[in-house]
């Protein structure tokens, strides 16, 4: 298993600079006063494809050989990685196939199709998704781009905190949500470069999907099985590469309740006026619930994405 | 009746520069491709108090005499002007009273209270609101700040398009929603300065609240009575000052259906990831419905505000 390094994150930042949006940073005076801290929100909802996943997917796509480019890319995902890879592939002029479970939300299928990718539907299990993706690889020679267990993807995700730091100056604490762990691992590598590991990174998970916390505490990967959290982007289990990096950096993991995630999502919408999906609000929940000591600190939070079905609002 | 001028808008811009947020401008490649145009969205959801109304309210508050300041300000409003004035008054260290109908949404009352204003509840009619506000003026000597029929408020609203133009360069068409008409009138004055009236401004209204269109077509103010539009910020009737300015500038008014407003609101949320209220999406509805000829043009749209009850999303 080849682990990416801080240097890979720096190289990714140079590679991605003309390719990704430099997303805006938002603040809330109310929150800063309440916490007696300064919180800087890096708003990846405004990233192309609607989430930070475009960074990692693009970083992988841009490093394919001419031969690999000719055969295209494939991924199995029903979430933000699918949209990110579809868009990155289109922009690079590559064919892209996305394997999605039949039960996927229509709006997500439409987004992937809108970016010009081919969709193959499969049964609603991880095994089925992997098997179908492997068939595509065998048949077409396409390169499989894993959503987080991929060194270049992890390195790409680390560029978000680099941009944030560059824009607002040194931070004293960084919070990110943890699903597969690609963002958390990339952020840990970036902070190694920015602050030689002196700036704590805290990962935050839903209580009901706390496989990263358990895995890191017990020193072995303990996958979760289909946890029922509203933070649908964090239902996946920690990957092997992220696990190794988070373990080496001794990244602590906090957990938050479903109710706290709900409140935090609403807080971001109504206060920051940024559309975020519940997964993105998970670190905000940790702040609002005062799960972490922040007083007097300059805190960075990656608001990971905003791909949420907005039509639900009208039915209320 | 004293009408504000283009010069008043320029003075307001200088006065407000250190006082308001310079809100970001967003774009959508998908929309630009679809319309074969370039659309620049000035995102006033990110303005302080959550809407452009903070510009006009602040412009009025900052021009009070020492004597007036000592007696505070009052407004009758259940909407964005209430929050805007409450915040502007707090920032200026003034007392503020807001007269609100008993039926006002709880979340809006809480916001006004959160900004430290005193709330007086009254019956749910315009007459009752005006009467109670007059009582406050008579008793306390407070200055009434009207949400749109006020020269300084109109001038303040015109600063949004000035900022947009400064940031993105010359525009060839500008779209704004029309309720009381303060923003439309201020924008018309700003465009008089920016382009000597050569850049068309188009106002957009809900079909069921088309009093501005009817009034301007017939050359006389024709108020609407409690129109049932989801664009709750546009239920109010065109004011006398805005009417005079829009008439002189021959500003055309388009109308859009409730369904189109709904779709446009959802489009902004899901594509731009900016939380807007339905009123803000009304000009977007005109674009999506192709109610106006835009091909090849550089178009400015003021996304007026984002004060919407986000808790509704969860009930879906």
The Cα–Cα gap between B195 and B189 comes to 10
**Hey, of A42, A107, A273, which one would you mutate to test binding to chain B, going by the most B CBs within 10 A of its CB?**
A273
Tell me how close the Cα of B308 comes to any Cα of chain A, in angstroms.
Answer: 7
- Tell whether B59 and B126 lie within a shared domain: yes
Q: Which residues of A touch B24 (CB under 8 A)?
A: 24
pTM beyond 0.90, yes or no: yes
Whether A314 is covered by a domain: the verdict is no
Inter-chain residue contact B266 with A311, CB threshold 8 Å: yes
Q: What is the ipTM of this complex?
A: 0.94
Contact A145, A57 (CB under 8 A): yes
In a domain, A69, yes or no: yes
Residue A104 confidence class, pLDDT cut points 50, 70, 90: confident
Give the pLDDT mean for B129-141.
95
Is residue B98 assigned to a domain? yes
Average pLDDT, chain A: 95
* Residue B103 shares a structural domain with residue B239: no
Are B171 and B234 found together in one domain?
Answer: yes
B290 found inside a domain: yes
Judge if B157 and B257 occupy the same domain.
yes
Q: Residue A258, exposed/middle/buried by CB under 10 A (0-12, 13-18, 19+)?
A: middle
Contact A156, A17 (CB under 8 A): no
Q: Find the mean pLDDT for residues A195-200.
A: 92
Alpha carbons B94 and B85: distance in angstroms, whole number: 10
- What pLDDT is attached to residue B310? 81
Does residue B316 fall inside a structural domain? no
Residues on chain B touching A281 (C-beta within 8 angstroms): none
* B1 occurs within a structural domain: no
**pLDDT score for A1:** 78
| Cα B126 versus chain centre, distance | 19
Question: How far apart, in Å, are the Cα atoms of B246 and each of A293, A316, B6, B52, B62?
Answer: 54, 37, 13, 19, 25
Are B85 and B199 in a shared domain? no
Residues B76 and B25 in one domain: no
Q: Residue A280 pLDDT > 80, yes or no?
A: yes
A160 and A252: one domain?
yes
Neighbours of A226 (CB within 10 A): 12
Contacts of A312 in chain B (CB under 8 A): 313, 316
Instruction: Determine the residue among B25, B275, B309 to mutate to test chain A binding: the one whose Cβ has the most chain A Cβ atoms within 10 Å.
Output: B275
Contacts of residue A53, Cβ cutoff 8 Å, sequence gap at least 6: A80, A81, A83, A84, A85, A147, A157, A305
- Interface of A to B at Cβ within 8 Å reads 24, 26, 43, 45-46, 50, 107, 262, 266, 269-270, 273-276, 306, 308, 310-316
Q: For residues A73-77, give the mean pLDDT.
A: 94
Give residue B316's pLDDT.
46
> Edge-to-edge strand order for the sheet containing B143-144?
B118-122, B96-101, B73-76, B143-144
User: Structural domain tally of chain A?
Assistant: 2
Domain of residue B179, CATH code: 3.40.50.1100
Q: Which residues pair with B178 in a beta bridge?
A: none
- Name the residue in chain A with its Cα closest to that of B273: A275
Rounded to an integer, the average pLDDT of B158-169 is 98
Indicate whether B264 and B170 sit together in one domain.
Answer: yes
Measured between alpha carbons, how far is residue A261 from residues A57, A58, A100, A207, B315 in Å? 27, 29, 26, 10, 15
Q: Please report residues of A whose CB lies closer than 8 A to that of B50.
A: 273
Report in angstroms the alpha-carbon separations of B33 from B13, B28, B295: 33, 9, 10
pLDDT exceeds 70 at position B213: yes
pLDDT for B107: 79
Nearest CB partner across the interface for A273, out of B46, B270, B314: B46
At a CB cut-off of 8 Å and minimum separation 6, what does B196 contact? none
Clarify whether residues B70 and B162 are in a common domain: no
- Examine the pLDDT at B312 and tell me if it is beyond 80: no
CB atoms within 10 A of CB A177: 31
Beta pairing, strands B143-144 & B73-76: parallel
The pLDDT of residue B266 is 95
Alpha-carbon distance B305 to A303, whole Å?
Answer: 21
Query: Residue B301, by phi and psi: left (phi above 0), alpha (psi -120 to 50) or beta?
Result: beta
| B315 within domain boundaries | no
- List the one residue out of B94, B133, B101, B143 whose CA is nearest residue B117: B94
* CA R_g for chain B: 18
Residues in B touching A316 (Cβ below 8 Å): 311-316
Q: Taking a C-beta distance cutoff of 8 angstroms, is the pair A39, B267 a contact?
A: no
**Full DSSP string of B215-262:** HHHHTS-----S---S-GGG-SPPPHHHHHHHHHTT--EEEE-HHHHH
Contact A311 B24 (CB under 8 A): no
**Predicted confidence (pLDDT) at residue A192 exceeds the cutoff of 80:** yes
The pLDDT confidence band at residue B315, using thresholds 50, 70 and 90, is low
Nearest alpha-carbon partner for B20 in B75, B88, B80: B88
Parallel/antiparallel/unpaired status of strands B73-76 and A298-303 = unpaired
Pair of tokens at residue B198: 């050569």
B283-297 average pLDDT score: 97
CA Rg value for chain A:
18
| A229 and A156 fall within a common domain | yes
Per residue in A7-41, pLDDT (tens digit) is 999 999 999 999 999 999 999 999 999 999 999 99
Residues in chain A closer than 8 A to B43 (CB atoms): 273
Q: What domain range includes position B237?
A: 6-52+152-308
Preferred mutation among A19, A309, A310 to probe B, highest tally of B CBs within 10 A:
A310
Number of residues that this document lists for chain B: 316
Q: Of the given ranges (A73-77, A105-109, B239-243, B259-263), which has the lowest mean pLDDT?
A: A105-109
Question: Does residue A313 sit within a domain?
Answer: no
Q: Which of A122, A149, A176 is the last residue of a domain?
A: A149
Residues β-bridged to residue B298? B38
Contact B305, B280 (CB under 8 A): yes
Mean pLDDT across A175-190: 98
pLDDT value at position A315?
Answer: 61
Q: B297: which 2 tokens?
A: 């043009």
Across B24-40, b (16+ Cβ under 10 Å) vs e yields: bbbebeebeeebebbbb
Query: Which of B30-44, B118-132, B278-292 has the lowest average pLDDT?
Result: B118-132
Distance CA B182, CA B161 (A): 13
Considering the domain architecture, whether residues A92 and A46 belong to the same structural domain is answered as no
What does the alpha-carbon distance between residue B265 and residue B277 come to, in Å, rounded to a whole number?
7
Report for A200-214, B109-123, B124-138: range of highest mean pLDDT: A200-214
Assess whether B134 and B164 both reside in one domain: no
pLDDT at A311: 80
Q: Which of A50, A262, A315 sits opposite B316 (nearest CB)?
A: A315
């Amino acid at each position: 298993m080849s682990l990416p390094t801080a240097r890979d994150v720096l190289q990714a930042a140079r590679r991605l600079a003309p390719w990704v949006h430099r997303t805006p940073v938002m603040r809330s005076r109310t929150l800063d006063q309440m916490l007696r801290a300064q919180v800087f929100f890096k708003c990846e909802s405004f990233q192309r494809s609607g989430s930070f996943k475009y960074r990692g997917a693009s970083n992988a796509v841009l490093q394919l050989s001419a031969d690999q480019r000719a055969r295209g890319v494939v991924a199995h995902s029903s979430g933000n990685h699918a949209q990110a890879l579809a868009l990155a592939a289109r922009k690079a002029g590559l064919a892209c196939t996305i394997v999605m479970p039949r039960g996927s939300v229509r709006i997500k299928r439409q987004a992937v199709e809108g970016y010009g990718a081919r969709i193959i539907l499969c049964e609603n299990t991880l095994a089925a998704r992997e098997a179908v993706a492997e068939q595509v690889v065998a048949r077409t020679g396409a390169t499989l781009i894993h959503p987080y267990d991929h060194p270049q993807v992890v390195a790409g995700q680390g560029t978000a905190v680099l941009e944030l730091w560059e824009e607002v100056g040194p931070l004293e604490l960084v919070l990110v949500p943890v699903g597969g762990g690609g963002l958390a691992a990339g952020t840990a590598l970036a902070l190694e470069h920015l602050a030689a590991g002196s700036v704590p990174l805290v990962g935050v998970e839903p209580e009901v999907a706390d496989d990263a916390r358990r895995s890191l505490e017990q020193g072995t990967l303990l996958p979760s099985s289909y946890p029922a959290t509203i933070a649908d982007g964090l239902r996946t289990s920690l990957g092997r590469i992220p696990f190794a990096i988070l373990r080496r950096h001794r990244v602590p993991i906090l957990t938050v309740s479903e109710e706290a995630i709900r409140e935090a999502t609403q807080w971001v919408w109504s206060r920051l006026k940024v559309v975020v999906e519940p997964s993105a609000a998970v670190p905000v929940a940790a702040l609002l619930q005062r799960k972490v000591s922040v007083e007097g600190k300059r805190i960075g939070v990656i608001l990971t994405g905003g791909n949420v079905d907005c039509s639900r609002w009208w039915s209320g």
